[in-house]
């Protein structure tokens, strides 16, 4: 009887850990492209990242909003904190869309302002890392007593 309850309590934290692993992987890939600018760009990596960035980020954010937030919200967390996290999801996704277009242009070897591209990519992975650090700290602070 105790194990299903424990599994149910830990499920949102496991889901969050999984989504953050995905986003960390995207951040590492974005950083690798940014580091390769201006003259050492791997066009195949840019193509792959331009195609996967939005779907992976969107899926991770949706999973958090559907499987994590509703469960931990029941633990008397302030609604404003969840609104902040959801707003950050939206902002991150907007910047990711812009980054995805730039990555596609780099993949096609089209003219791109490399300095602006580097700034955009670095801005995105910095935002994403900041978001998951806050989200992780906030949600783990709501963990039920073991
Ligand atoms: Fe998130």
Rounded to the nearest angstrom, the distance between the alpha carbon of 35 and the centre of ligand 1 is 25
Total number of domains constituting the chain: 1
Rounded to the nearest angstrom, the distance between the alpha carbon of 57 and the centre of ligand 1 is 9
Domain for residue 12, yes or no? yes
Domain of residue 27 covers: 2-140
Domain for residue 46, yes or no? yes
Looking at 82-86, 123-127, 138-142, which range is the least confident one? 138-142
Domain for residue 57, yes or no? yes
Contacts 24+ apart (CB under 8 A), 104-108: 104/46, 104/47, 104/50, 106/33, 106/41, 106/43, 106/46, 106/50, 107/43, 107/44, 107/46, 107/47, 107/50, 108/43
Domain for residue 72, yes or no? yes
Please answer whether residues 108 and 100 qualify as being in contact, where contact means their C-beta atoms are separated by less than 8 angstroms: no
Which pLDDT does position 16 carry in this prediction?
Answer: 93
Which pLDDT does position 4 carry in this prediction?
Answer: 57
Domain for residue 80, yes or no? yes
Which pLDDT does position 93 carry in this prediction?
Answer: 98
Domain for residue 145, yes or no? no
Rounded to the nearest angstrom, the distance between the alpha carbon of 126 and the centre of ligand 1 is 14
Rounded to the nearest angstrom, the distance between the alpha carbon of 49 and the centre of ligand 1 is 19
Rounded to the nearest angstrom, the distance between the alpha carbon of 131 and the centre of ligand 1 is 6
Rounded to the nearest angstrom, the distance between the alpha carbon of 108 and the centre of ligand 1 is 31
pLDDT at 115 over 70: yes
pLDDT at 3 over 60: no
CATH number of 63's domain: 1.20.120
pLDDT at 119 over 80: yes
Domain for residue 146, yes or no? no
Render pLDDT for 12-66 as a digit per residue (tens, 0 to 9).
888 999 999 999 999 999 999 999 999 999 999 999 999 999 999 999 999 999 9
Domain for residue 44, yes or no? yes
Looking at 1-5, 17-21, 88-92, 117-121, which range is the least confident one? 1-5
Which pLDDT does position 72 carry in this prediction?
Answer: 79
pLDDT at 97 over 80: yes
Rounded to the nearest angstrom, the distance between the alpha carbon of 91 and the centre of ligand 1 is 11
Which pLDDT does position 7 carry in this prediction?
Answer: 58
């Amino acid at each position: 009887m105790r194990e299903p309850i424990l599994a149910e309590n830990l499920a949102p934290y496991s889901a969050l850990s999984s989504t953050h692993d995905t986003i960390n992987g995207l951040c590492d890939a974005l950083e690798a492209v940014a580091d390769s600018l201006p003259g050492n760009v791997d066009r195949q990596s840019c193509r792959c990242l331009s195609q996967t960035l939005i779907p992976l980020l969107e899926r991770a954010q949706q999973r958090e909003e559907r499987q994590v937030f509703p469960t931990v919200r029941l633990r008397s967390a302030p609604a404003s904190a969840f609104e902040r996290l959801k707003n950050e999801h939206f902002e991150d996704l907007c910047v990711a869309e812009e980054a995805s277009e730039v990555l596609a242009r780099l993949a096609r070897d089209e003219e791109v302002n490399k300095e602006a591209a580097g700034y955009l990519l670095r801005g995105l992975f910095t935002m994403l890392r900041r978001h998951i650090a806050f989200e992780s700290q906030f949600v783990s602070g709501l963990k039920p007593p073991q």
